[in-house]
Structure 1
Amino acid sequence: MSERFNVADIFGENVFNDTVMKERLPKNVYKNLRLTMDGKQELSKEDADVVANAMKDWAIEKGATHYTHWFQPLTGATAEKHDSFISAPKSNGKVLMEFSGKELIKGEPDASSFPSGGLRATFEARGYTAWDCTSPAFVREDAAGATLIIPTAFCSYTGEALDQKTPLLRSMDAINKEALRLVRLFGNTEATKVTPSVGAEQEYFIVDREKYLQRKDLVFSGRTLFGGMPPKGQELDDHYFGAIRERIAAYMKDVNKELWKLGVSAKTQHNEVAPAQHELAPIYAECNIATDNNQLTMEVMKKVAYRHGLVCLLHEKPFAGVNGSGKHNNWSMTTDNGVNLLDPGKTPHENIQFLLVLGCIMKAVDTHADLLRESASNVGNDHRLGANEAPPAIISMFLGEQLEDVVMQLIDKGDATSSIQKGKLKTGVKSLPDLAKDATDRNRTSPFAFTGNKFEFRMVGSADSIAPANVVLNTIVAESFKEVCDELEKAENLDMAIHDKIKELFTKYHRIVFNGNGYSDEWVAEAEKRGLPNIRNMVDAVSALTTDKAVKLFEEFGVFTKTELESRSEIKYEAYSKAINIEAKTMLDMAAKQIVPAVVSYSTEVANSALAVAEVGCDNSVQKELLADITTELKAVKEAQAKLSEAVCKAAKVTGAKEQAVFYRDVVKTAMDELRKPADKLEMLVDEEYWPFPQYEDLIFEV
């Protein structure tokens, strides 16, 4: 019988949250810690010691023996180094369990072995982790036992950010400062903080672990480098929102339970479009916490899958021919007195503050479309973006009928006097109620779509951190707010100045708005006519980080220095080259050690059959024709192998991070595609008993 539990009883039970802090900390220490969390003062050494001791006692009660500073280096994963709570043995051979404020606040991991883009040399090893008190510590339970996990930032000895969290926190400070200026224009003097909120929908594939381990390409690169499509893919759309299979349901249940105990508000789960593809979506949280929670979600999904004899694939395109996976980043801004700056209300034409915010966001997205596109670029996403399943590589905004109508009234008439209202959806069935219908339909082809009271940035890759996308969103909107407030704060007639500014923003930046089919060829042509950038791949996207415009933006708000941007650019080029190099070498290995031997064995069997049939005087034309087809494709595989091997050797000799990445994209990747074509044809010709590894139908239909 299925295990039963009350979600309310277990939710957050392993989190050192506000309730636990209130219970365990002296009132004055709790008050000082809250002020530190709100950015109003630093935590004293004495208070830090008290917090650390309370955190240690709580964690030990949960069974913890070790603690770790949990950080997010530029590897795409998280990192941690575990230390036990034990002190040096006393004269009687006993040890005490100790944890000081200094150990809580600062750690010192090796910084030389993480990507730094030239900021650190191998002999310059020192780096620091710094406790992020705005994201709660928690106890994680796994095969290692229980460990106290302390979310931290990570920087080099010379002060540069080497992680995802530090710039995210900087960007949150920037948008908070400028958004407060904007709400003050409208008389909101109660708000003391504006926080970007995020809900990150997570798509993923689940496959059987035993079959996964038989595929070197999945093991080494996270995606299938060879594979012909089975007779059925996703054409019938029968997997989407379909009944969840028992094995997957058991997995999802355990994932939810683990996440709820860690305070992650996993809410929605369902089958996605492709076979073996699924989605998990949480409730919104503050941007920084949402980012940590999403990293935690990916880790939990992978660990729980292992316990179920499964593997969670987070690659953006693990299987060719069916939909890939993304991560929809739902973003909004909320004041600490409860105002969502992206809530248009029932009559958006009368919501002047909302219209000004909307105009500022239009300006931000249009001005920095290249940065927004870069924030969602990684090697795996190149297989997904622009394909007929995900947002196109062109950045545009979807507003929907209601907001587009208000915007056009202001542009054309100079004033907006009405808003399209919600209607009733009549089902035509007497026993069913009429449903309230939204004033606007959705557009699933838009990369940046307004969806009621938030914008959904749909380009982020499923394996990526959501931090870079939110760093860009926070900073570019902060810039728009600043420029608008600089002007409006000087206005003699504020109401008229705001009205004119909204019209100006809508008119000047309306080219970024597109409500149609983002997948169509017509949109590509139209976008070019409008002057919108169409950045088709990661290598082309990276240069956006180091333009004069980007450097000015990030330095003005203290989010990145020019040096930090240059280092991230270098890291991204290197990551691209390394990923393609691993894929290419994996293909060569699989072709040489698995595919060619299997095909040779089968062709020998066919040849023997042809001889045997001929000896008894029967027609062996079928065998001969099959053998000819196999031989033709096998020869093509060998020729493509040689070309790819040569390309990989040449790539290693290319100097310059960008130049090498371009070579891998244009030469090595092309050679990989040429090797895959005949190999996939052979998969269709060779008896499946001879084929050396599980095929698509084994992986995506048999879970």
Structure 2
Amino acid sequence: MANVPEYFGSDVFNESVMKERLPKATYKALKKTIDNGDPLDIEVANIVANAMKDWAVEKGCTHYTHWFQPMTGLTAEKLDSFISPTEDGHVIMEFSGKELVKGEPDASSFPSGGLRATFEARGYTAWDPTSYAFIKEKALCIPTAFCSYNGEALDKKTPLLRSMEAINKSALRILKMFGSDATRVTANVGPEQEYFLVDREMYAKREDLILAGRSLYGAPAPKGQELEDHYFGTIKTRVQAYMKDLDEQLWKLGIYAKTKHNEVAPAQHELAPIYGTTNIATDHNQLTMEIMKRTARKHGFKCLLHEKPFAGINGSGKHNNWSISTNTGVNLLDPGKTPAENAQFLLFLTAVIKAVNDYQDILRASVASAGNDHRLGANEAPPAIISIFLGDELTGVLDAIVNGVKYEDKRVEMEIGVDVLPHFPKDTTDRNRTSPFAFTGNKFEFRMPGSKLSVAGPNTVLNTIVADVLDQFADELEKADNFQDALDDLIKRTIKENQNIIFNGNGYSDEWPVEAEKRGLLNLKSTPEAVPAFLAQKNVDVFSKYGVYTEAELQSRVEILLDEYCKTLNIEALTMIDMAKKEILPAAAKYIKDIAKTAELAKSCGAETVFEEETVKEISALVTEMYKALGTLEADVQKVHSIEDTQEMANFFHDTIFADMGALRVPADKIETLVGKDYWPYPTYSDLLFYVK
């Protein structure tokens, strides 16, 4: 495909297709629904549905599906054909407005956290007209929200849409006081997606990668990422072909895939899109992950989206670049040329700072998972402590406001020392890889989400908590006799009260956790510690206030997340037991036997047998250690069945099972370094990470 503009979005029922295929009145009615949230008349829905069907059939589609995002974190679809029988025994292709607007999947078969019992099966999918329909695998996919028979949200999209409406209303209250003519405010996101590619044939020989998505065993390769030669390095031919194919598929779906490069770890890569509204960006990221995995199969790869597939090297994150903008084209987090004098920017900036400080617990909980627990705080991932990086200039501006002094602009030109190279202004903020929440020029980069996480969750939290603080600000400013004085006082007071969350230093230093504790910042290191924060009263209150989550919906999320954590660790533990019994211990025993035979033969010839005897002793000792650790893990896994409370079970998995797994892995990985390569039952880290020639 040579001409990208010609085929970009060709598989999307987007605005240009709607303009072409819908009557003017229908198009205008649909646009009002999309832009203003006006109710959609069924007659309009019928016309839209028929036009969608005709367009899809012309492109070879025979089926349609309501495409939704249940609490699994993945996407779901149930395919129905367009065929409808005729009296003469033939069929015609039909699609009604009723079928477009509503579907009925089985709600009890998806995670519901107790909202739905097994016998309460009915659920609904409802068309989301703000996200365009698209074609995937010759099926018309209609983005939808998913709810139970009683109306509770069972998906990721519904709370996200609610939070977007919340921040829209709250931000408009503030903008009205500044004389803005904006009528809508939108949260925007650009989620950078990191991933690993490994050879599919090697992947198929590793039970842990197949069942758990990460390597549960594995000694470090002789070379890791210490030479820093993979980051931004020349992309290998085979990977380049995969990336080219991936780009073309994403572009056809209207996904703004912009940047691709090698990441820091060997076999690790990244794809970054252009910004989009939070809802559409979330849909696009879910599609991107799906297509990444499907395209990998075509090229003989397996795409790994686990947050930490390999120990000792970088894990994969999904950096969530978040900003808010108006329908008049103003980025509310753009400081402009003189941020110290930009009161509107400073107010929105301080609102974000206060929101992150007040609600650091649920922001941390929004990225909690068993996989992300491995990643946070290691190999360029931020620590579990929430803090904000602002950079020297903005920190200087805020310090000047608090101290009541004039800010001195310290921006300089970059001089590299070569006359022929252009001079350019030095950025006012550095980049801090150890910061969980960093300001990067005109947006905040939330670096904590893991690579396979749906960005709907953290953005639902961000939108809601910022909306809450903006409303607090609006309540105060609307009552003020003198707006400017009240504004100045509010900004100064808010900065002073929330300076504890601002940290521009090294988040990996040993001193930082100690300092963070003194500042009153939370250090929720694990999922069982973090997830219950959703049910703290202040958090229940803020979500309920904006109708983002009811208390029952929050309770269900806590139950689902903890249950997923338990099931994940249970699968990992059982997989480790299986691999130990069926692969590692038999391989070690066979090697010991063969070495011992070699020693006997060498002795019979009068040769020295130091290597053979020492090797047998060392491996035998490790086998004994491993066998004992295996017994402990098996016994503790059995104890889990007697625990009924989900929180108690999650704690047991974290405190006991996880520790048992680590104790089992240590001798197994040492055995790997001693046993002959031909004896080892599965590909090593060296094989998996350095396969591409």
Q: Which residue of 1 aligns with 2:462?
A: 473
**Amino acid paired to 1:420:** K
Secondary structure of 2:93's aligned partner: coil
Distance 2:73 2:659 in 1: 25
Question: 2 CA distance for matches of 1:618 and 1:582?
Answer: 48
1:327-346 deviations in Å (ceiling 9; x for gaps): 00000001001111000000
- Equivalent residue in structure 2 for 1:528, among 517, 522, 527: 517
Residue 446 of structure 2: which of 457, 474, 483 is its match? Answer: 457
Give the residue type in structure 1 aligned to 2:83.
I
SS at match of 1:112: helix
Q: How far has the Cα of 1:129 moved from its partner?
A: 0.4
Q: Which amino acid aligns with 1:286?
A: T
CA drift of 1:388 comes to 3.7
Q: Which residue type is aligned with residue 100 of structure 2?
A: L
Report if aligned partners of 2:208, 2:214 keep a CA contact under 8 Å in 1. yes
- Of residues 102, 115, 118, the one that matches 2:114 is 118
Match of 1:694 among 651, 673, 683: 683
Query: Does residue 419 in structure 1 map to residue 416 in structure 2?
Result: no
SS at 2:115 equivalent: coil
Which amino acid in 1 is paired with 2:55?
W
- C-alpha separation in 1, matches of 2:174 and 2:325: 13
CA distance in 1, matches of 2:139, 2:316: 31
CA RMSD of aligned residues (A): 0.8
Equivalence map 1:561-600=2 (5 Å) = 561-600=550-589
Q: Which residue of 2 aligns with 1:157?
A: 149
Residues 1:40 and 1:383: Cα distance change in structure 2 (over 3 Å): closer
State TM-score, norm by structure 1. Answer: 0.98
Partner residue, 1:334: 325
CA distance in 2, matches of 1:417, 1:675: 57
The answer to whether the aligner puts 1:102 opposite 2:98 as a matched pair is yes
Q: Structure 1: which amino acid aligns with 2:82? A: F
Q: Where does residue 477 of structure 2 map in the other structure?
A: 488
- Structure 1 residue aligned with 2:26: 29
CA distance in 1, matches of 2:422, 2:407: 32
Map 1:120-519 to 2 at 5 A.
Answer: 120-141=116-137, 146-188=138-180, 190-413=181-404, 416-421=406-411, 423-519=412-508
CA distance in 2: counterparts of 1:285 and 1:416, whole angstroms: 37
Task: State how far apart, in whole Å, the 1-side matches of 2:86 and 2:522 are.
Answer: 67
Contact between 1:405 and 1:420, CA under 8 Å: does it hold in 2?
no
Shift of 1:416: 4.2
Question: What is the alpha-carbon distance in structure 1 between the residues aligned to residue 477 and residue 380 of structure 2?
Answer: 42
8 A contact 2:389–2:503 mirrored in 1:
yes
In the TM superposition, what is the alpha-carbon distance from 1:617 to its structure 2 partner? 1.3
Task: Note the C-alpha offset of 1:622.
Answer: 1.5
Shift of residue 90 of structure 1? Answer: 1.9
Give 1:7 shift: 1.1
Per-residue CA deviation, residues 269-299 of structure 1 (Å, 9 max, x unaligned), is 0000000000000000000000000000000
**Aligned amino acid, residue 206 of structure 1:** L
2:5 is aligned to 8
Instruction: Give the aligned residue type for 1:155.
Output: C
Instruction: State the distance in 1 between where 2:161 and 2:429 align.
Output: 34
C-alpha contact 2:170 2:467 (8 A) present in aligned 1: yes
Q: Aligned partners of 2:657, 2:407: CA distance in 1, in Å?
A: 58
Matched, 1:51 2:42: no
Structure 2: gaps (5+ residues): none
Which residue is 1:608 aligned to? 597
Instruction: Work out the CA distance in 2 between the residues paired with 1:680 and 1:122.
Output: 43
In structure 2, the residue matched to 1:542 is: 531
CA contact (8 A) 2:570 2:637 kept: yes
> Would you say the 8 A contact 1:651–1:668 is kept in 2?
no
Q: Which runs of no fewer than 5 residues in structure 1 stay unpaired? A: none
CA offsets per residue over residues 382-439 of structure 1, 9 Å max, x none? 00101242111100001111110110001112x5444333x21111123322232112
- The residue that corresponds to 2:39 in the other structure is 42
TM-score, scaled relative to structure 2: 0.99
Q: What letter is aligned with 1:123?
A: F
Q: Distance in 2 between matches of 1:440 and 1:40?
A: 38
Distance 2:550 2:476 in 1: 26
1:176-206 per-residue CA deviation (whole Å, 9 max, x = no partner) reads 0000001111001x21100000000000000
Q: Output the CA distance in 2 between the equivalents of 1:77 and 1:693.
A: 29
Contact 2:428–2:441 (Cα < 8 Å) also in 1 = no
Q: Write the distance in 2 (CA, Å) between the matches of 1:106 and 1:68.
A: 11
Per-residue Cα deviation, 1:139-188 (whole angstroms, up to 9, x for no partner) = 113xxxx0001000000001100000000000000000000001111001
Letter aligned with residue 426 of structure 1? E
For residues 424 and 332 of structure 2, what CA distance do their matches in structure 1 show? Answer: 27
Aligned length: 692
Question: Which residue is 1:664 aligned to?
Answer: 653
Q: Is the 8 A contact 2:296 2:303 kept in 1?
A: yes
In the alignment, the residues of structure 2 paired with residue 77 and residue 652 of structure 1 have an alpha-carbon distance, to the nearest angstrom, of 28
- One-letter amino acid of the counterpart of residue 181, structure 1: R
Q: Deviations over 1:196-231 (max 9, x none)?
A: 000000000000000000000000000000000011
1:462 partner SS: coil
Q: Say if 1:37 and 1:133, in contact at 8 Å, map to a contact too.
A: yes
Instruction: Measure how far apart 1:40 and its partner are.
Output: 3.7
Q: 1:128–1:157: 8 Å Cα contact kept in structure 2? A: yes
- Stretches of 4+ aligned residues off by more than 3 angstroms: 415-420
Read off the aligned partner of 1:596 and give its amino acid letter: L
